[in-house]
Amino acid sequence: MSHRLARLALRLLIAGTVAVVIALAPLPLWSPQWVIHVHVPLVVFVLVCYAGKLILDTFFYPRYP
């Protein structure tokens, strides 16, 4: 069970790092205003959905050793 939690923590760390890099990536100067207001919430939404999928797969997906 501990190796599953370690893999979960590693994948969440990688996903968080990728989300921060994407959220802080500079947008082109010609971007419309709505893109700037949608960019970060969309990245956070995708991160939360992915984290939920990882947690469900870790704890509720039957695996045999």
pLDDT at 24: 84
Handedness of CA 17, 20, 23, 28 (dihedral sign): negative
Contact between residue 39 and residue 23 where contact means Cβ atoms under 8 Å apart: yes
pLDDT, one tens digit per residue, over 4-45 is: 889 999 999 999 999 999 888 877 777 788 887 888 899 999
Prediction pTM value: 0.79
Residue boundaries of the structural domains of the chain: 2-60
